[in-house]
Structure formats: C-alpha cells, structure tokens
C-alpha cells in the first residue's frame, strides 16, 4: 500500500498525464481538425519560424467535393509554410460545395453561412496561432476560387489579398459589393473547359464570366488600367486604384489547374513572400 506522500505523487502524476492528454486532444494541425463551432479547418505552421516578423497565413479553399484533408495532401501547397515562413490553412466547406449564391448544389444559398465560417476561421487563427490579422490572404481553386470571389465582394477588408484560381462568381454576378476595393490576382487557363473563362451552364445554374467579374470590380473599386510587367508564362492585364490596390487577370496556356508559382507570385505581390 502506497504511503501518503507516494500516493500524493502518483495522484499528481496522473493529473499531469490527464492534462497532457487533454492538451493533445485539443491540439490541431495537418492531421487533426481545428474546431470552430460545428465546423473545422486544418493548418500547417512553419517548422522554423522567423520570430522577427509577425506570422502571416494563406487560407486555401478547396474545389468541388474536396476537403481540408485533401488540401493537406498537396505537398507543393503545404510546402509553402516552410518555403515562405507562413501558415498554410485548409478551409473546409463541410459538404460537397461552398454555399454561395448560384451554386447548383445549394440552390437557396445566400452565402451568409459561408461568410460566417470564414469570419470564425480568421478569428480563430488570430487567437489560437497569433496570426497577424494584416497578413492573411484568401486563395482557392475552382469552386474554392468562386468562394474567394464571394469573400472579396463581402469581406474585402478582412484579408490582405485574394487569389482566385480558375473560379469566379456564379451567374448572375452581384449587382453591388460592399468591399470591392481589394488586392486581387486571378489566374486562369485559356483552355479550361471545366470553368471556361466565359462560364458554362451546370444543371439550372451557370458559371459567371471571368472578364465580367473583373469589369465589375474595376468599376466598383475605381481601378484604372496600367502596364503589367512582362512575364514569359503569363499574359496579365493589370489595373490599379488610387489606394494603390491591384486588380489583375493573369492567363496561362493550359486547362483547369494552377501552379504553385502562381500562388508564390501573388503572395509576393501582397507582401507575404520575400522577393527573389
């Protein structure tokens, strides 16, 4: 039978183990969910942080029928954490698609719940991981790119920049955006047949026209055309407003996809990646 001091030490040890287990259960990262209410996301942090500057983040929205788990399998994407010293965050639609206006999977969606999810995700990143609120960029591919356009329209002041990849608004485009003056770089393949530049009908819905989305933001955000820097792989059309914010459409020869270099270029333009 254990003595009183020994029993006390054993009880203290047991309490420490339980506390450690509870802390482990509450942790989240690449292989475990970060809980925000009933929704989740996943995150990869840089292994060796540069503590001389605040930590930035790229919040990535997956495509149709994707998931945060699937995003975390993209080694090129999550490799940006160490390469650029940023957090790579995988948002999760919680279903087959992002619930935004016009999406055929959710014909009655008004986008409010989707915006609330990203509000909660952003707030959790800031509180849980001390992410700099001024250094968070929203990016997404295909249906995730459509989500990013919705964010740029309604949460333009919540992110340092937006990078929609091969996805735009569903038709009809919004008549007005509360926050259309943003830094936004859109990448799209000229041979994309999944989400063509001009859009296409799907079920009773229709994808919007990318150039119409660019014109909408050009008009609402007060942008004017300026010369874009030459690029061997991209054909870019650039506009800028009086606040110095950039609105850019970059086309590449190819189909429905994107390159890691596209994200790096945009993050560099938004100040989250070092210059070469």
Of the candidates 140, 163, 151, which has an alpha carbon nearest to the alpha carbon of residue 269?
A: 163
On the question of pLDDT at 25 being above 60, the answer is no
**Region of poorest pLDDT, from 23-27, 103-107, 166-170, 216-220:** 23-27
Domains of the chain (ranges; CATH) run 40-269 (3.40.50.1820)
pTM for the model: 0.89
Model pLDDT, residue 51: 78
pLDDT of residue 48: 83
The more confident residue out of 11 and 108 is 108
pLDDT tens for each residue of 132-168? 999 999 999 999 999 999 999 999 999 999 999 999 9
Average per-residue pLDDT for the chain: 90
Q: What pLDDT score was predicted for residue 179?
A: 86
**Residue pLDDT, tens place only, 50-70:** 777 889 999 999 999 999 999
For the segment 93-98, the average pLDDT, to the nearest whole number, is 96
pLDDT tens string 236-245: 999 999 999 9
Residue 22 has pLDDT above 90, yes or no: no
Q: How far is CA 246 from CA 85, 131, 239, in A?
A: 24, 24, 6
Average pLDDT of the segment spanning 112-134: 97
pLDDT over threshold 90, residue 12: no
């Amino acid at each position: 039978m254990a003595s009183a001091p020994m029993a006390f030490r054993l009880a203290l040890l047991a309490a420490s183990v339980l506390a450690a287990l509870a802390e482990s259960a509450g942790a989240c990262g690449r292989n475990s969910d970060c809980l925000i209410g009933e929704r989740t996301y996943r995150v990869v942090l840089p292994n060796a942080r540069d503590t001389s500057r605040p930590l930035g983040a790229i919040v990535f929205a997956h495509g149709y029928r994707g998931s945060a788990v699937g995003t975390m399998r993209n080694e090129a994407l999550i490799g940006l954490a160490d390469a650029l010293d940023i957090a790579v965050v995988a948002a999760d639609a919680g279903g087959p698609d992002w619930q935004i206006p016009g999406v055929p999977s959710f014909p009655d969606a008004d986008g409010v719940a989707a915006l609330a999810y990203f509000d909660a995700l952003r707030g959790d990143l800031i509180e849980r991981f001390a992410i700099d609120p001024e250094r968070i960029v929203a990016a997404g591919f295909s249906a995730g790119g459509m989500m990013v356009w919705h964010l740029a329209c309604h949460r333009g002041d919540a992110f340092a920049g937006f990078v929609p990849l091969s996805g735009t608004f569903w038709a009809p485009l919004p008549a007005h955006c509360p926050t259309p003056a943003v830094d936004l770089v859109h990448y799209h393949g000229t041979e994309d047949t999944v989400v063509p530049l001009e859009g296409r009908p799907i079920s009773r819905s229709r994808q919007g026209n990318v150039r119409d989305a660019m014109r909408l933001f050009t008009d609402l955000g007060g942008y004017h055309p300026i010369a874009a820097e030459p690029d061997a792989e991209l054909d870019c059309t650039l506009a800028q407003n009086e606040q110095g914010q950039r609105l850019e459409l970059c086309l590449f020869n190819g189909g429905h996809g994107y390159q890691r270099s596209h994200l790096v270029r945009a993050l560099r333009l938004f100040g989250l990646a070092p210059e070469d």
